[in-house]
Amino acid sequence: MREWFNQYKNIILAVAITAMLCLIYGLGYTHGYKNGYNKGKSEVPIKEIKIPGEANTETKTVIQYMPKVVDAITKEPEKTDVEANVGKPELTVKVNGQTQVIHKEDSEKYVLEKNKLTLDQTSKATFEVKVPIIDNTRKWAAGIGYSNHGLAGKIDFPIKRPVGGWIYCDRKTIAGGIQVSF
């Protein structure tokens, strides 16, 4: 039995790990399904936009008790007991002081029944950042060369920007000077 276990222990370990992962996945899926985590993920949440403003409504109603009109041809009074004339409502919208009047169409019972208000607004922000280039590299330099006297060397060193100095030497000559970098 021990030999069999040693021979197949890698396979047994792989099967055990796979079974545990499947169990964990299944538990997580059912937990998410019960709590509604996987429902409505394709729906975009609608944000409520609150725009500060005032709304004023003015309704004028006149009620009168009037005699019925007598028909000129039949000489009979009209048969209606109540006559109601409700005019078209008018919607006025002011945006930043500019007035827009919205009229109800004849096929609409209410304003905004078949049509809608739309607001199209675009924004563009541009940031331009200019970072100054600060050159903190050292202005020291060393060089090696060959002159008519043999091997030569040169060293450049900074003094104060843009002024620097240099030293040159070979077997017979030693020289130095000041230089301006541009």
The predicted-structure confidence for 80-100, as pLDDT tens digits, reads as follows: 788 877 766 677 777 777 787
How many percent of the chain have pLDDT more than 90?
0
Identify whether the C-beta of residue 146 lies closer than 8 Å to the C-beta of residue 152: yes
Task: Name the pLDDT band for 14 (thresholds 50, 70, 90).
Answer: confident
- For strand 150-160 and strand 163-169, is the pairing parallel, antiparallel, or unpaired? antiparallel
pLDDT for residue 40: 54
Q: What are the tokens at 35?
A: 């709590």
Residue 60: pLDDT band by 50, 70, 90 thresholds? confident
pLDDT at 157: 86
pLDDT at 105 over 70: yes
pLDDT, tens only, 61-80: 888 888 888 888 888 888 87
Question: Could you tell me if 158 and 178 are in contact, meaning their C-beta atoms sit under 8 angstroms apart?
Answer: no
The model's confidence at residue 36, banded by pLDDT at 50, 70 and 90, is low
Phi/psi for 25 (5° steps) reads -60, -45
State the average pLDDT over residues 159-176: 86
